[in-house]
Amino acid sequence: MAGLTYRAAGVDIDAGERLVDRIKPLAARTRTPLVMGSVGGFAGLCGLPPEMKDPVLVSGTDGVGTKLKLAFRSGVHDSIGIDLVAMCVNDIITCGATPLFFLDYFATGALDVTAGEAVIRGVARGCELAGCALLGGETAEMPGLYSPGEYDLAGFAVGAVERERVLDGSRTSAGDLLVGLASSGLHSNGYSLAQKALFERAGYDLDTRLDDLERPLGAALLEPTRIYARATAAMLEAGEVHALSHITGGGLPGNLPRVLPDGLVARLDRSAWPRSPLFDHVARAGAVAEVEMFRTFNMGLGLVAAVRPEDAAAVRQAAEDAGERAFLVGEIVTGEGPARVDLP
């Protein structure tokens, strides 16, 4: 009887080494002056910005949820990594942080080097968009744990902010105006509901062309999450921003109150910003109530800033100059009880 090998058990070390070799130049493109060492060590090293007097580290971790199923179904793997970076980086910038580095975790049953490289290429692109370094990561091959052709992703972002400039929502006050940055679509939330409505209920497929969508349905659903790091940095320099909210799972009603003190209400004007027709297709296909849509999806806004009224125009313009579409979407008013969102 021949002796077992790791490869015979389902783990291909050689494939893992080939993937690392392909990742190295991708990571090299994201390198910043603060990075020490190179990809391949046991840990990544990154210094703190020397201009910061009293830096506070800010960290966040996330995944991309069932949007992964679209990558498996379509065979398109080079954009899902952007989503991974976006979901982590967009969280830490709400504290006013500058992203420093990112780590990824890629797990699969049997390593497909080509697909793995495409995923990490997207991660590297996301890091470039965020202005941070892809400092390292982990590839895990676990036979039998994942279905053939499938994988899972997790990401970890770390940034830094001056202690005196930390945003925690405590400065938000009645009279503040709300500046919203447009989303690129569903981003990375609500895909379980969206896929059930569009594919199971309506019977659409990835190639379906709907009149008001410029691309096939699959391409529209795979549009990567916007990364707001550069826009946020410009907004913070342009005026007095009191709070930032990343609109993810839970939508506007679930996320804006996280940066509002009790006794305040975020009153939004639903007509003040456009939204992708994709949201309307999901609602119609699944007969999804409007209130359910707003508590599941971002509904067209990926980030919302509470801004001192006299600075709102400048902050909005700074976001536009940084490449985002920005809108004055509402205001903060006095209310009673826990913080909430009003969508008249």
Fold entry, domain 13-165 = 60s Ribosomal Protein L30; Chain: A; (3.30.1330)
Give the residue-averaged pLDDT of 231-257: 97
pLDDT for 64: 97
Q: What pLDDT digit, counting tens, does each position of 97-135 carry?
A: 999 999 999 999 999 999 999 999 999 999 999 999 999
Q: What pLDDT digit, counting tens, does each position of 125-169 carry?
A: 999 999 999 999 999 999 989 999 999 999 999 999 999 999 999
pLDDT for 28: 87
pLDDT for 12: 79
Look at the block and give the residue holding tokens 């981003």.
187
149 and 237 Cβ atoms separated by less than 8 Å = no
Give the residue-averaged pLDDT of 90-95: 98
Distances (CA, A) of 94 to 4, 27, 181, 301: 51, 25, 13, 14
d(CA 16, CA 198): 36
pTM: 0.95
Domain assignments of the chain as residue spans, ordered by start = 13-165, 177-342
Phi, psi at residue 140, to the nearest 5°?
-120, 125
pLDDT for 1: 64
Bridge partner residues of 334 (DSSP): 264
Single-letter code of the amino acid located at 66: T
Residue (of 138, 307, 276) closest to 213 by Cα position: 276
Q: What pLDDT digit, counting tens, does each position of 181-221 carry?
A: 999 999 999 999 999 999 999 999 999 999 899 899 999 99
Residue 163 region by backbone torsions, left for phi larger than 0, else alpha for psi between -120 and 50, else beta: alpha
% of the chain residues with pLDDT over 70: 99
Phi, psi at residue 256, to the nearest 5°?
-60, -40
Name the residue with higher pLDDT: 5 or 99.
99
Give 343's pLDDT tier (boundaries 50, 70, 90): very high
Q: What pLDDT digit, counting tens, does each position of 8-48 carry?
A: 777 878 888 898 888 888 888 999 999 997 777 788 899 99
157 and 147 Cβ atoms separated by less than 8 Å = no
Name the residue with higher pLDDT: 23 or 264.
264
Give the residue-averaged pLDDT of 227-252: 97
Q: CATH homologous superfamily of domain 177-342?
A: PurM-like C-terminal domain (3.90.650.10)
> DSSP readout, 10-53?
T--HHHHHHHHHHHHHHHHTT--TTEES-TTSSS-EEPPPTT-S
Torsion of CA 217, 273, 188, 323, to 10 degrees: 100
In this structure, the strands spanning 340-342 and 264-268 are: parallel
Distances (CA, A) of 29 to 126, 132, 135, 331: 11, 10, 11, 41
d(CA 93, CA 135): 18
